[in-house]
Amino acid sequence: MKFAEGVMEILEAFDLTGSYRDAAELVGCSHSTVARYVAARAAGRLRGRPVRRAQVLDAYLEKTSIGARAHCV
């Protein structure tokens, strides 16, 4: 995923040209990247932050934070 400035640049280039390939050429990325961000904008899926995904350590972090709180009290 690109940073917000890069995404805005891609979307502005698309709005200016109306073409995935022309916008991609202007900003220096793939036309499929432009298409993905345009589709995400149309669907309302653009966010300021990436969505947090589950990690293998999540179960252990919960146990250690509970244990740490028990020792602090």
pTM value?
A: 0.63
Domain boundaries of the chain, sorted by first residue: 1-50
State in Å, rounded, how far the first CA of the chain is from the last one. Answer: 42
Q: What b/e sequence results for 14-45 when a residue is b if at least 16 CB atoms lie within 10 Å of its CB, and e otherwise? A: beeeeebeebbebbebeeebbbebbeeeeeee
1-50 has CATH 2.40.30 classification: no
Do the beta carbons of residue 9 and residue 25 sit within 8 Å? no
pLDDT in tens, 28-64: 999 999 999 999 999 988 876 667 788 887 777 777 7
Report the C-alpha gap between 41 and 71 in whole angstroms. 47
pLDDT in tens, 15-30: 999 999 999 999 999 9
